[in-house]
């Protein structure tokens, strides 16, 4: 691939992401006034929850960049017979420290100024970042924060199938791709990182990511095209929202990618430990669909990941990105959907799930060129504005935390 992590534009994206995270709770008087007007109009306004998904997306970008810098440092230290590139090593160390410092400061602010309160299932995305920060640093505060979010998800209201309801406070039983994608990411990451914790042991299937995903794909997917709707409701047996909305596809793809990566890691760990209960490695290695079930749902999560990857590549635009409605390849590009999809594609690829995909390097190179071409002084532009409800998409594009974080996560994940 032509992309290098030392590219100045990449460093500028990191710097802007750090700034955006540190300032996300500082709302100007002008913006506050706009929020009041939007509230009177019945439109959604920013939440006072510092772990809400926009902040979570920024942290996802930063933790991904920190992990990538850490990997590069490890590779450099292993090459004992090669003279190390001191400037490159310092750069990677600086990136890692800067990203982790911003995440640490945001976590501390949440604990001190907001008493560590958790309000929404959207906080699960921040939890994913805390889990990965713990794996990098082994600082107890990240594990403790992850445990708090795990307890919240465990007790979150669910529908009759056991799927986490997105916004039960509105007396709603709607299931959103946003919620399923985020809680699936968290469940998979948490169980993978802390398989022997008391929370996991006592949770039964309530932290089974593949169960959440399986339920959504049974109820919220168009059978002919295979694309997902924004959501559904069991109470009236209705699929809801736009078919193929880019961010809805992105949320599901991110959840499926994390669960698939956890499944492969679990299989590899069992093999390495010579676990007698792991009795079909040939299936994992040779079977085209990798029929290794994750957790207890008997659901082929890696096969689903490959299917979604084929769909993502099919709808990649000529310029390397993805549209706000992915099947509308000549429609407006959305850098939040582009970042989410490119990140998910790269995450599974790096875990070895995608084998022999034709021209995958070309697809990554085009995605990188596209993402960087939509940045200005590190700020990611052309992200679609927030969605107020099923089918309510204001065609406003600009610089938003969800575009900034998703693009950084993708750039970091594509090695």
CATH of the domain at 255: 1.50.10.10
Q: 367: domain range?
A: 8-30+41-413
In a domain, 85, yes or no: yes
**Spatial distance between the Cα atoms of 235 and 197, rounded to a whole number of angstroms:** 35
Q: How confident is the model at residue 356 (pLDDT cuts 50, 70, 90)?
A: confident
In a domain, 226, yes or no: yes
In a domain, 394, yes or no: yes
Alpha-carbon dihedral sign for residues 384, 369, 60, 243: positive
Q: Return the higher-pLDDT residue of 42 and 52.
A: 52
In a domain, 36, yes or no: no
Q: Return the higher-pLDDT residue of 292 and 232.
A: 232
Kindly report, residue by residue over 63-112, the tens digit of the pLDDT. 999 999 988 766 655 555 555 555 566 678 899 999 999 999 999 999 99
pLDDT, position 30: 60
Task: Answer yes or no: are the C-beta atoms of 255 and 185 closer than 8 Å.
Answer: yes
In a domain, 35, yes or no: no
Question: Over 60: is that where the pLDDT of 283 sits?
Answer: no
Structural domain count, the chain? 1
**Spatial distance between the Cα atoms of 140 and 248, rounded to a whole number of angstroms:** 33
135, 299, 374 from 138: Cα distances, Å: 6, 32, 36
pTM of the model: 0.88
**Spatial distance between the Cα atoms of 354 and 348, rounded to a whole number of angstroms:** 7
Question: Over 70: is that where the pLDDT of 315 sits?
Answer: yes
In a domain, 1, yes or no: no
In a domain, 208, yes or no: yes
Question: What is the number of alpha carbons within 13 Å of residue 182 lying toward its C-beta?
Answer: 30
In a domain, 70, yes or no: yes
Task: Answer yes or no: are the C-beta atoms of 353 and 261 closer than 8 Å.
Answer: yes
């Amino acid at each position: 691939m032509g992309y290098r992590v030392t590219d100045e534009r990449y460093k500028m994206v990191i710097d802007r992401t750090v700034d955006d995270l540190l300032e996300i709770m500082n709302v100007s008087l002008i913006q506050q006034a706009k929020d009041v007007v939007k509230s009177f109009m019945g439109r959604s306004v920013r939440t006072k929850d510092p772990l809400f998904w926009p902040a979570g997306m920024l942290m996802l970008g930063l933790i991904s960049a920190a992990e990538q810098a850490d990997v590069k440092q490890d590779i450099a230290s292993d090459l004992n017979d090669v003279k190390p590139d001191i400037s490159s090593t310092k750069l990677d160390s600086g990136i890692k420290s800067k990203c982790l410092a911003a995440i640490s400061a945001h976590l501390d602010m949440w604990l001190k100024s907001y008493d560590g309160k958790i309000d929404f299932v959207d906080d699960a995305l921040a939890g994913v970042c805390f889990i990965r920060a713990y794996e990098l640093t082994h600082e107890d505060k990240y594990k403790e924060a992850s445990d708090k979010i795990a307890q919240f998800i465990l007790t979150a209201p669910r529908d009759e199938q056991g799927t986490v309801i997105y916004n039960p406070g509105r007396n709603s039983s709607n299931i959103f791709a946003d919620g399923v994608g985020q809680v699936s990411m968290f469940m998979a990451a948490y169980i993978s990182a802390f398989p022997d914790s008391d929370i996991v042991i006592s949770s039964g299937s309530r932290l089974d990511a593949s169960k959440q995903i399986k339920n959504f794909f049974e109820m919220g997917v168009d059978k002919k095209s295979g694309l997902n709707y924004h959501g559904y409701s069991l109470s009236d047996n209705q699929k809801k929202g736009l078919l193929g909305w880019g961010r809805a596809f992105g949320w599901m793809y991110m959840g499926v990618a994390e669960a698939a990566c956890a499944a492969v890691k679990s299989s590899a760990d069992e093999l390495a430990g010579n676990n007698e209960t792991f009795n079909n490695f040939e299936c994992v290695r040779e079977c085209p669909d990798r029929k290794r079930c994750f957790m207890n749902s008997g659901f082929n999560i890696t096969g689903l990941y490959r299917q979604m990857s084929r769909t993502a590549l099919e709808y990649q635009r000529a310029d390397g990105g993805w549209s706000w409605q992915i099947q509308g390849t000549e429609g407006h590009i959305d850098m939040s959907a582009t970042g989410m999809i490119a990140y998910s594609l790269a995450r599974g690829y790096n875990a070895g799930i995608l084998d022999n995909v034709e021209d995958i390097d070309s697809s990554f190179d085009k995605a990188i060129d596209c993402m960087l071409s939509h940045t200005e002084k590190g700020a990611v532009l052309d992200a679609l504005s927030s969605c107020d409800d099923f089918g309510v998409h204001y065609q406003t594009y600009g610089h938003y935390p969800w575009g900034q974080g998703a693009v950084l996560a993708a750039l970091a994940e594509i090695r």
